[in-house]
Chains A and B, each alone.
Chain A
Amino acid sequence: MSDNSSLRTPSQCIAWTATIFISTLVFIFLIAPILAIMPLSFSSGSYLTYPLPGLSLRWYDDFINSPRWMNALKNSMIIGVASTALSMVLGTLAALGLAQWKSPFKPLVLAFVLSPVVVPGVITAVGLYFFFAPIGLTGTYLGLILAHTALATPFVVITVGATLQSFDTNLARAAASLGASPLQAFRRVILPLILPGMASGALFAFATSFDEVVIVLFMAGPEQRTLPREMFSGIRENISPTITAAAVILTTVSIILLATLEGLRRRNERLKGSSA
């Protein structure tokens, strides 16, 4: 309780209590909507309100037996995994290159590489729609994978770049001086060290693709509709409890991603702590 020692005057006590009170309300604001939607998916009735008439798994049953939703889940996985893999290769190579490259143009190149994150989704989507339609890439998996890779790669560059910042380049030199070929040095020395950064980059990349809907709205044909895309039309038409079941499944994926990332971060901190 190191913070309590600084609370001397009553006014400070009031300020601190107010901070805790407001923060609690904000935490409720942040988490309540996500928690509120979950039990509704287990309702036996078809109204999205409390109290629940009874518990059932009928909406999950509905989800699993609906070709539309299962196809969307499959598409999300295909596009997510493929664009993650592609962005890992492109992003890791670029981060390795950028770490060594010395040039006055470097900030400019870095800004360019990171810009897909800042540019509004609609602008990227409209540009891609015009650009990919004449070459037959709209309504294809390849088109969506390429587009999602462009959006996801900046995260890989950032996370791998961050691990490379604390990377001692002498380690690579030592490997070379001991007779390792560049490929061996990469595989046995550099790769194990940047692996945590690559893993969190991969999680970010997958989450980006898995959650993306604007580009899918513009470019996907009926065959390529992803989970967020199905949710979008579901919300537009009429929110059925099946959507809440889909929402719970999506949230579970998010929690798994977040927990993995947190585990990676803890492991990294432990390793740093033990080496210091």
Chain B
Amino acid sequence: MTAASLTDADTQTEVPLKRRLRRAERARQVKALALVLPLLVFLLFTFAGPIAGMLWRAVDDREVRQALPQTVAALANWDGKDLPDEKAYAALANDILAGRGAGTIAIAAKRLNYALNGFRTILTSTARNLKAVPEPGMARETLGKINAAWRERTTWTTIKDAGGPMTGFYLLAALDLTRNVDGAIAAASPDQAIYRDIFTRTFLIGLSVTALCLLLGFPVAYLLATLPPGRSNLLMIFVLLPFWTSLLVRTCAWIVLLQSKGVVNDSLHWLGIIDEPLRMIYNRFGVCVAMTHVLLPFMILPLYSSMKAISPAYMRAAASLGAPPLTAFLRIYLPQTLPGIGAGSLLVFILALGYYITPALVGGAADQMISYFIALYTTETANWGLASALGAVLLLATLLLALVYGRLVQGQQVTGGMKN
């Protein structure tokens, strides 16, 4: 009787306790999420939203649709095999007459000119010379007389392709591809196919800078990891001071050092080593030197922390087992630094890919990386679709590499500040 009531009481209190605990835990989780929420909302507005907007611009294509609505509608069912029918010509004439005052024709002309060089002239000359709505059945002849381009199939397929509301045009253009008159994906014309070269150049500069950083950073990291803490902390200042110095200051310093009347050329001349100043800046050499200088700490710091974790006992064990120093280094020490090498190299490469300021200031025209063109198309030529498409490709490359980096340093602490 007493035993039964005891167990009864036990179960009675135990269940609510479990539930209460669970409820308390749930409340704690909700509270935790509520603390993170302000930052998430903030980043949605100041970071994720803007980037999503940029990605949207890479496929958004409504300019022609807004300027030439009837034409786009009339071409919707056109198979593109022959010239479109009279209805499409009449629709175009109506659209041009309607849009002439609104200024939308110029916007559409700009967009169509990206796809077909010279389209701006075709459209503006037609808008200028078209006096009135053509007689019924005469639209094709009237337009063909104003500009012979209206008798060509490409002119019309260009309008149809640009009819929106979404397009792969800019993304294809960013990869030097285009759609030909039959709608198949083909190589872009040589005068527009420049972006693969620019991406290759960006990758090559990134790879050279990464290799240079690894070459210069490895001995330094090894030295810092091997020295007793007191002295390595002191030497660490040589790595951390440049790391904290403004990017602009460092870039400026390299220009002062390397320019034709700069400190290095003057010193070499004074020492009698050279007669003519060496060209060391506004070319690939200057870009690589300045970028290596800026990014070297990002290589040294992860390398240092991975080397710091290697116990010297391993090397001693290898030596005591008869391994010559070089063998011990190559087979015992080096493999253990591989995670550090991987993390440092990926970090430097990721940061180098997006570089803009340094190449813009110390590079020549042939050394500008992809970021320069994204900036150029955004602020100078206002070709926002192409700027966004190039940005989308760069973003994809960066995120893929960052994913690999994340896997690599999983568990390791994230270190360092990032600047570009």
Binding site for B on A (CB under 8 A): 1-3, 6, 8-9, 11-12, 15, 18-20, 22-23, 26-27, 29-34, 36-37, 40, 47-50, 89-91, 93-94, 96-103, 109, 111-132, 146-147, 149-150, 153, 155, 157-158, 162, 204, 207-208, 210-211, 213-214, 217-218, 228, 231-232, 235-236, 239, 243-244, 247, 250-251, 254-255, 257-258, 262
Contacts and interface: CB of A to CB of B under 8 A. Distances in A.
20 contacts: A3-B226, A26-B217, A33-B254, A34-B253, A49-B266, A50-B263, A97-B35, A109-B36, A111-B406, A112-B40, A118-B398, A123-B354, A127-B51, A150-B46, A218-B378, A228-B247, A228-B248, A244-B252, A254-B241, A255-B244
B39 interface: yes
Contacts, number: 287
Given A97-B37, A247-B246, 11 more contacts: A6-B312, A26-B296, A36-B253, A37-B256, A49-B266, A101-B32, A113-B36, A123-B391, A127-B52, A132-B50, A149-B42
Given A34-B242, A123-B394, A90 B42 contact: yes
B247 A213 contact: yes
B297 to A, nearest CB: 8
Interface in B233-275: 235, 238-242, 244-257, 261-263, 266-267
Interface of B: 28-29, 31-40, 42-43, 45-54, 57, 216-217, 219-220, 222-223, 226-228, 235, 238-242, 244-257, 261-263, 266-267, 293, 296-297, 312, 315-316, 319, 324-326, 329, 350, 353-357, 361, 371, 374-375, 378-379, 384, 387-388, 391, 394-395, 398-399, 402, 406, 413-414, 417-420
Contacts of A103: 29
Contacts of B228: 1-3
B341 to A, nearest CB: 16
Contacts of B406: 111
Interface of B is mostly: helix
B253 A37 contact: yes
A31 B42 CA distance: 38
Contacts of A155: 417
B378 A50 contact: no
Contacts of B45: 146
A26 B220 contact: yes
Contacts of A250: 245-246, 248-249
A186 B296 CA distance: 40
Nearest to B223: A23
A127 B44 CA distance: 12
B417 A204 contact: yes
CB-CB nearest 5 A-B residue pairs = A120-B354, A97-B35, A127-B50, A131-B50, A33-B253
A120 B371 contact: yes
The secondary-structure label for the interface of chain A is helix
Looking at B53, B228, B353, the one whose CB has the most chain A CB atoms below 10 A away is: B53
Contact of B38 (A3, A93, A127): A93
A120 B262 contact: no
A119 B266 contact: no
B374 A31 contact: no
Contacts of A124: 47, 50-51
Given A208-B417, A232-B357, A112 B256 contact: no
A29 B47 CA distance: 36
B241 A258 contact: yes
B67 to A, nearest CB: 20
Contact of A126 (B43, B226, B388): B388
A120 B398 contact: yes
A213 B420 CA distance: 9
A30 B39 contact: no
A88 to B, nearest CB: 11
A255 B51 CA distance: 34
Nearest to B328: A12
A214 B253 contact: no
A235 B387 contact: no
B395 A119 contact: yes
